[in-house]
Amino acid sequence: MHERKVIPLEGAEPRRAARQPHAGTVVGRLRDQARGQLRELARNMFDNVDDALFDLAEKAESNAQQSAYFDAMRAVRLARAEMERRFLDAVAAGFDLLLTGAPRAPAAPQEPSLSLVDEEEVEESVAIAGMVDKAEARYRGELHALRERFQALMGRRRVEPDEMPLAPRRLCEAFREASESMDVELRVRLIVLKLFDRFVVSELGTLYQEANRMLVAAGVLPDLRVRARTYPSAHGTRARVAPTSVQPGPSVELPPGVGEGAAADAALFETLLALIGRNKEGTVPAGGSYWGTTEVVGALDALQRSAEPAVEGDVKEALVEQIRRIHPASGAAAINRVDDDVIDMIGMLFDFILDDRNLPEPMKALIGRLQIPILKVAILDKGFFSQKGHPARRLLNTLAQAALGWDERADRGPGSLYAKIEETVNRVLTEFGEDVGLFETLLEDFEAYLEAEERHFALVEERIRQASEGRERLEIARARAAEAIAEAVAGRPLPPVARRLLEGPWHNVLVMIALREGEGSERWLQAVEVAQRLAWSVQPGSAADRAAYARAVAPLVEELRAGFALVSLHEDEAQAYLAELEACHIAVLRGRPLPGSEDRACAGDPDAGEGAQAPQEPRLAVPEIPPEEQTAETAPRAESLPEERLGEDGIVEEIVLAAEDAGGLPDPAARDEHVERLERVEVGTWFELPDEEGGRVRAKLSWRSPVTDRMVFVNRKGAKVAEKTLHGLAAELRRGDARILEDVPLFDRAMNAAVEALKRHLTA
């Protein structure tokens, strides 16, 4: 009796074999058992969704973000019962469809046409593809046994892998359709999908084992022995059957953008891997022999140590050719799917590196030579993709970051950065076998080189920064002194000597006090008052005014002498000023015209009537340069200031009488995205700027004025190469003459660029 229930694997023709009489009963029991187990798994998942959203709400950086997570919690709670029902009904429908023999769904459930889907659908499709790939790899043996037993139970009718009611793709698509009842944003949908992966899909092993046990108990192929389809190991042998999926990626807690560090990086890796897999759909052969990881790594090792510094053309083609040279008996074998995907991934990343505009061309060529050893690392150690701290990744990023500011014209000799990077690359090519620890050793050595360079160049850069800050303070003090004198004069007519004295020595007195003690200090206020009294003391007035003049002149002269001493005015020059001023004071006291004055009204000429020329406000020698016209050529050179003019705090002590440049504030009306971006840019950011010879120079923003937004740029050796205003640089960015270089780690930029490129390809 029991014997008759067993359906042999060989012999029976599928079209003539009748379905097992008890198939309906067995399938019904399987359905009920599966619904019960999946119900418990789904409930556990929903409990964790609630907890995860609550945790994210507590860690939210803004009230709006927190409210969004709380709203999502409510939406998931409201939709939970409906989602459970729809999910479990879809699972049951899969069993019923298998039993009735009705027209079956396609082997691979069709997704919406990629040319019509939006970005959110692509994100969900990628997440589903990653979940399915991992599950199919993890449960390959159990799924193969289930499929064979389902086919035997159904009278040898062919059951496609995706047609099985409990296939990972069926379950994931069923949950995806059920989740449409949630009214939440994509971010939350991805969180729910990831938790479905963690709490349901990752627990399907027990479900599959129980289903196989029930079929065996029902007498369906109890003696079935399944040859497990395993991936080649790092030590491995050539696989005889092509893997149908990718190797399970690292476990991640949340989807991209939710977590940080290793979790987000692992999720990005899974996304890229899934996109590569989708891009290959229909191109992977169903059978044949495949080279294992051992053969692939051996061929890579041979390519790495070849006389050629880099592989020309397609790396995969060169690799296949090399394997066939080493293993001529392998014939028409191909690279196994896991390693093939890794090869494609590394190829995409290095394509991005070689197209990266942030790196100088010679540096791209150097770093590009690392493709073979980096590929070998990625095949040997899958943690390379998911660990930001992986030594090979860190070395690659550090080399690229150091190359960002490299200038070929000034840095290519012995001991240069180029020479050091070349030495590091050559050591990787000649010394790397399978010990990833070499990358850690080389990284430490390269970082020590950079630290030594930085210590040396930092002193040069600091001097430039101090000079720029000192000159900025000097210019601000000059401008403030000019304003104070203009206010003191307040439109009064002045004799030439008073004008010269205020615009010359006394302007410098105010500048010196502003630099040393500040504009609000007592000495500053006293010096401003002296300027006001000087302007008042040379004005014509009544007899009563003259008496006040007589009392004020002596103290005024003493304060002027003290100011002259402060700025070290030569005694002869100081005496000449005071002698001329004394003549003016005598003329005022006697009611006579001022000496040297051509302004009759200023001299108190009684014949000067209403038609006399109005007194002009003194013009102070502080030229202004509009921000948009000021360039590195018109701006004064901070490093040209003599060393002895720098005090211990970097402040310019000597007062330069001829103002070089008053800077100027940016026009608030001239704002666009370039201005706003420059306002946010941080000191230390690298730029590519036009140089005097019509070429380009790489320069780092070393200092910017908090008042005028003037920017000083240095090269990687700390020497000043340019000085620009914010609006002047914004104009260059607008024209495309300058650009900001991205300082994001090279590997991270390459990973993100590869993901975006594949998404565009799939949605094209």
- Predicted local distance difference test score (pLDDT) of residue 761: 67
CA 296 centroid distance within chain? 34
Higher model confidence: residue 571 or residue 286? 571
CA–CA separation, 704 vs 683, rounded Å? 7
- Predicted local distance difference test score (pLDDT) of residue 259: 38
Query: What's the mean per-residue pLDDT of the chain?
Result: 74
CA distances to 172, 185, 232, 665 from 127, rounded to whole Å, are: 10, 15, 25, 51
Of 284, 398, 389, 300, nearest in space to 343 by CA? 300
Does the pLDDT at position 222 exceed 60? yes
Of 20, 23, 6, nearest in space to 220 by CA? 6
Mean pLDDT for the stretch of residues 405-430? 85
- Predicted local distance difference test score (pLDDT) of residue 267: 60
Q: What percent of the chain has pLDDT over 90?
A: 13
- Predicted local distance difference test score (pLDDT) of residue 82: 92
Domains along the chain with CATH numbers: 3-227 (no CATH), 279-435 (no CATH), 658-748 (2.30.30)
- Buried b / exposed e along 73-105 (16+ C-beta atoms within 10 A): bebbeebbeebbebbbebbbebbeebbeeeeee
Does the pLDDT at position 510 exceed 60? yes
- Predicted local distance difference test score (pLDDT) of residue 376: 92
**How does pLDDT run across 55-105, given as a tens digit for each residue?**
888 887 788 888 888 888 888 999 999 999 999 999 998 888 877 755 444
- Predicted local distance difference test score (pLDDT) of residue 23: 80
Helix or strand (DSSP H, E) at 751: helix 746-763
**How does pLDDT run across 143-168, given as a tens digit for each residue?**
888 888 888 887 766 777 667 889 99
pLDDT-based confidence at 423, cuts 50/70/90? very high
Mean pLDDT for the stretch of residues 455-477? 81
Does the pLDDT at position 243 exceed 50? no
Paired residues of 49 in beta bridges: none
**How does pLDDT run across 310-330, given as a tens digit for each residue?**
555 578 888 888 888 888 877
pLDDT-based confidence at 622, cuts 50/70/90? very low
Mean pLDDT for the stretch of residues 688-703? 84
CA–CA separation, 391 vs 436, rounded Å? 7
666-671's contacts with Cβ under 8 Å and 24+ in sequence apart are 666/627, 666/708, 666/709, 666/725, 666/726, 666/727, 667/627, 667/628, 667/727, 670/628, 670/727
- Predicted local distance difference test score (pLDDT) of residue 288: 56
Does the pLDDT at position 6 exceed 70? no
**How does pLDDT run across 402-415, given as a tens digit for each residue?**
888 887 776 766 77
- Predicted local distance difference test score (pLDDT) of residue 226: 53
**How does pLDDT run across 258-270, given as a tens digit for each residue?**
334 445 555 666 6
CA–CA separation, 54 vs 60, rounded Å? 10
Lowest mean pLDDT among 101-115, 117-131, 554-568, 640-654: 640-654
Mean pLDDT for the stretch of residues 373-380? 91
Does the pLDDT at position 439 exceed 90? yes
